[in-house]
A and B are shown apart, each in its own frame.
Chain A
Amino acid sequence: MGQVIQVTSNKKLFGIIVPIISVLLGLIVGAIIMIASGHNPIDGYKALWNGAFYDAFTIGETIRRITPLILTGLAIAFAFRTGLFNIGAEGQVIVGWLAAVWVGLSIDAPMVIHLPLAVLAGAIAGGLWGFIPGLLKAKIGVHEVIVTIMMNYIAMFVSNEIVRSVLTENSTTTDRIASTASLGSEWLQSLTFYSRMHYGFLIALFAAIIMWFIIERTTLGYELKAVGFNKHASKYAGMNVNKNIILSMVISGAFAGLAGVMEGLGTYGNVSVISGFTNLGFDGIAVALLGANNPLGVVLAAILFGVLKEGAGEMPSAGVPTELVDIIIAIIIFFVASSYIIRWALQRVKKEGK
């Protein structure tokens, strides 16, 4: 028994230590790369820091950047927990964005009705975009990876078309949404020197709690995880496997749709024709995996990710190309994924110590 308890407490400890070590290693490798390419890593990192935390404005922008990443991270993590790989968060973001703005533009209502309605529209649109691959997976067994990839492109083209021919008269950007549908806040903006920070971060954090609650506390979460682990046993136990697969994709899509809502009702207040993907969905994959597919992990990973990405904007002032940050993030992910080797090394060190 004693043995077991020790193992689990070790597990918790490693759960904290491994990411920290990984981040440090990532930064060290980043420094080495900077030195190798003739830059001063101290200047580089100072710039990175300033880019993310220089003043209230940058902090506000950093939070703004983190917000949708939390949601796409949750979306992908949620699907993963059910054994599904949702590469389609990207498309779900796009349709969520579009739907939220659509409602934001076309309805006239007081804020208490308008804003929730617009938010909901985005979540539903994202959910719908997840429903299709979920349905095909459940009923016909079509691999969700292909369908979600295809749905991304469809989302982009359809959204562009709707912006152009439904929401505007052949223009590339819609009007601003009514203020009754906006997540923006004078107060937050005045606090952060007109950054685009908006109340969406509360939605994102709330979504993380929701996901935690669904997955860990509800019978639905129990079923979803069971289906992810073992379809046959789930069927034996009387669960509706197909329903769970579809539901999982729908919920996942709804989270991603909410990420689009953040952009549509918060950051931009409109929707534009896009010529390429937002990358929110793809970055969400990294966030989810870095966060070990659990809600708290996703929030932390999104923070790390957002801070580094936002900070990167300042790095050229030290002469360092912004892409250094991508390299650093990739290396952090590698080390987290290869935590086995870090554990192994730590255990070695511990043993030697004794």
Chain B
Amino acid sequence: MLHILDSIIPTVLFFSAPLIFTALGGVFSERSGVVNIGLEGLMVIGAFTGIVFNLTFADVFGAWTPWISLVAAMIAGAIFSIIHAVASVSFYADQTVSGVAINMLALGLGIYLTKIWYGKGQTDMVAEPFNSTTIPFLSKIPIIGPIFFDGVYITSYIAIIFAFIAWYVLYKTTFGLRLRAVGEHPMAADTNGINVSRMRYIAVIISGALGGLGGSVFALTIVSNFSHSTIVGQGFMALAAVIFGKWHPLGAMGAALFFGFAQSLSIVSSGIPVLGDIPQIYLLIAPYVLTILALAGFIGRAEAPKASGVPYIKGSR
């Protein structure tokens, strides 16, 4: 049993980390009242930027390259998300439509530039990806140490720490209070002197930065290059995590970990004698069926922030 945990936990962590980052971005955006189904596209931009930056500057920054690549990807994601913000906040665009456009634009642009810059549909492998590490001291703790702190990616822990930071920001700070108010009742926030547009811009840009981070973490820990098949559906899984987690940062993190756990379990199971006899197909669909069952069984009804999806037009009623 311990051995199974020992092998599952680290895989859950690396699988979930990109989803956690991106889902947190989704939480910020949706909490402010801007639906963001462009998470997939933001991940694409992040993955693209992270890889290109890494390839280009590996010689310059050496071992620091992956970290600086993440920062670059965050910036790129943040900038890219401004398009979504302009469309859905300033131009009152349907936020779903704008999000769909973000997804198409990101992939189109990413591959287009890859082809122009590298002359082929995919980049080379990066020389400086992230590697897992063993965390000193903590990994020495009996039982827990080897399970949680041996052979893990720092980025996974950063993701978890980010979730707590996001929780703090959203639920304990003035900024968070205002942001949530804007997503629940923008007019009330407006009459209280809160600049609704500015809050929403900030929230969307945060989601861009976190989506970019998620995408680049995915690319730099799992794939090592960029192509049209680098990000396929992870953004939508992150969106699912946002809703699964009831628009709460820790909930979203929990949901992302759940997805990772379900995936790992389905893979590990085929190696376990008893479960190994189950036809492959059941193991393949298990993660998705489990998610539906979990939703239907325990999680149930979830209410989105009230104003999410609705452009705030001053003076309309």
Chain B contacts of A340 at CB under 8 A?
A: 91-93
When A289-B100, A334-B87, A337-B93 are in contact, do A136 and B296 touch as well, CB less than 8 Å?
yes
A277 and B107 alpha carbons, distance in the complex (Å): 15
Stretch at the interface among B4-12, B59-67, B109-117: B109-117
CB neighbors of B among A263-306 (8 A): 276-277, 282, 285-286, 289-290
Contact A323 B97 (CB under 8 A): no
When A145-B243, A327-B108 are in contact, do A157 and B281 touch as well, CB less than 8 Å?
yes
Interface secondary structure of A, over-half rule: helix
Contact A334 B107 (CB under 8 A): no
Chain B contacts of A330 at CB under 8 A?
A: 101-105, 108
Contact B285 A153 (CB under 8 A): yes
A277 and B289 alpha carbons, distance in the complex (Å): 18
Q: Could you mark each residue 195-218 of chain B with 1 if its beta carbon is under 8 Å from any beta carbon of chain A, else 0?
A: 000000000000000000000000
7 A-B residue pairings within 8 Å (CB atoms): A141-B301, A154-B285, A321-B116, A329-B104, A330-B105, A331-B101, A338-B86
Q: Does B253 contact A (CB under 8 A)?
A: no
A327 and B110 alpha carbons, distance in the complex (Å): 10
Contact A334 B101 (CB under 8 A): yes
A158 and B93 alpha carbons, distance in the complex (Å): 38
Contact B229 A140 (CB under 8 A): no
When A87-B236, A330-B101 are in contact, do A141 and B108 touch as well, CB less than 8 Å?
no
Q: Does B158 contact A (CB under 8 A)?
A: no
A21 and B63 alpha carbons, distance in the complex (Å): 49
Chain A contacts of B13 at CB under 8 A?
A: none
Contact A147 B292 (CB under 8 A): yes
When A321-B112, A338-B93 are in contact, do A136 and B295 touch as well, CB less than 8 Å?
yes
Q: Please pick, from B97, B98, B233, B285, the residue contacting A158 in the complex, using a CB distance under 8 A.
A: B285
Q: Please pick, from A136, A321, A327, A337, the residue contacting B292 in the complex, using a CB distance under 8 A.
A: A136
Give 10 closest A-B pairs by Cβ, nearest first: A326-B108, A141-B301, A330-B105, A338-B91, A337-B93, A330-B104, A337-B97, A333-B101, A327-B108, A150-B288
From B301, which residue of chain A is reached at the shortest CB distance? A141
Q: Could you mark each residue 79-100 of chain B with 1 if its beta carbon is under 8 Å from any beta carbon of chain A, else 0?
A: 0000100111011111011101
> What is A's interface to B at a CB cutoff of 8 Å?
33, 37, 85, 87, 136, 140-143, 145-147, 149-151, 153-154, 157-158, 161, 276-277, 282, 285-286, 289-290, 321, 323-327, 329-331, 333-334, 336-341
Chain A contacts of B139 at CB under 8 A?
A: none
Interface secondary structure of B, over-half rule: helix
Contact B281 A161 (CB under 8 A): yes
Contact A143 B285 (CB under 8 A): no
Contact B115 A323 (CB under 8 A): yes
From B243, which residue of chain A is reached at the shortest CB distance? A143
Distance in Å: Cβ of A93 to nearest Cβ of chain B: 15
A325 and B108 alpha carbons, distance in the complex (Å): 8
Contact A85 B96 (CB under 8 A): yes
Chain A contacts of B187 at CB under 8 A?
A: none
Contact A338 B87 (CB under 8 A): yes
Q: Does B240 contact A (CB under 8 A)?
A: yes
A143 and B241 alpha carbons, distance in the complex (Å): 11
Q: Please pick, from A33, A149, A327, A341, the residue contacting B236 in the complex, using a CB distance under 8 A.
A: A149
Chain B contacts of A282 at CB under 8 A?
A: 103
CB neighbors of A among B228-255 (8 A): 229, 232-233, 236-237, 239-240, 243-244
A322 and B86 alpha carbons, distance in the complex (Å): 27
Distance in Å: Cβ of A300 to nearest Cβ of chain B: 16
From A141, which residue of chain B is reached at the shortest CB distance? B301
Distance in Å: Cβ of A262 to nearest Cβ of chain B: 22
Contact B240 A149 (CB under 8 A): yes
Contact A158 B281 (CB under 8 A): yes
CB neighbors of A among B274-300 (8 A): 280-281, 284-285, 287-289, 291-292, 295-296, 299-300
When A334-B101, A337-B97 are in contact, do A323 and B237 touch as well, CB less than 8 Å?
no
A24 and B243 alpha carbons, distance in the complex (Å): 37
From A285, which residue of chain B is reached at the shortest CB distance? B100
Distance in Å: Cβ of A85 to nearest Cβ of chain B: 7
Q: Does B302 contact A (CB under 8 A)?
A: yes
Contact B104 A286 (CB under 8 A): yes
From A327, which residue of chain B is reached at the shortest CB distance? B108
> Among A87, A337, A340, which residue has the most Cβ atoms of chain B within 10 A?
A337
From B101, which residue of chain A is reached at the shortest CB distance? A333
Distance in Å: Cβ of B64 to nearest Cβ of chain A: 31
Contact B240 A145 (CB under 8 A): yes
> Among B92, B240, B301, which residue has the most Cβ atoms of chain A within 10 A?
B240
Q: Please pick, from A150, A153, A277, A327, the residue contacting B105 in the complex, using a CB distance under 8 A.
A: A327
Q: Please pick, from A37, A146, A154, A286, the residue contacting B240 in the complex, using a CB distance under 8 A.
A: A146
Distance in Å: Cβ of A72 to nearest Cβ of chain B: 13
From B107, which residue of chain A is reached at the shortest CB distance? A326
Contact A326 B240 (CB under 8 A): no
Contact A146 B111 (CB under 8 A): no
Q: Please pick, from B91, B101, B107, B111, the residue contacting A341 in the complex, using a CB distance under 8 A.
A: B91
A87 and B37 alpha carbons, distance in the complex (Å): 10
Distance in Å: Cβ of B1 to nearest Cβ of chain A: 28
Chain A contacts of B236 at CB under 8 A?
A: 87, 149
Contact A146 B97 (CB under 8 A): no
Q: Could you mark each residue 48-68 of chain B with 1 if its beta carbon is under 8 Å from any beta carbon of chain A, else 0?
A: 000000000000000000000
A131 and B103 alpha carbons, distance in the complex (Å): 27
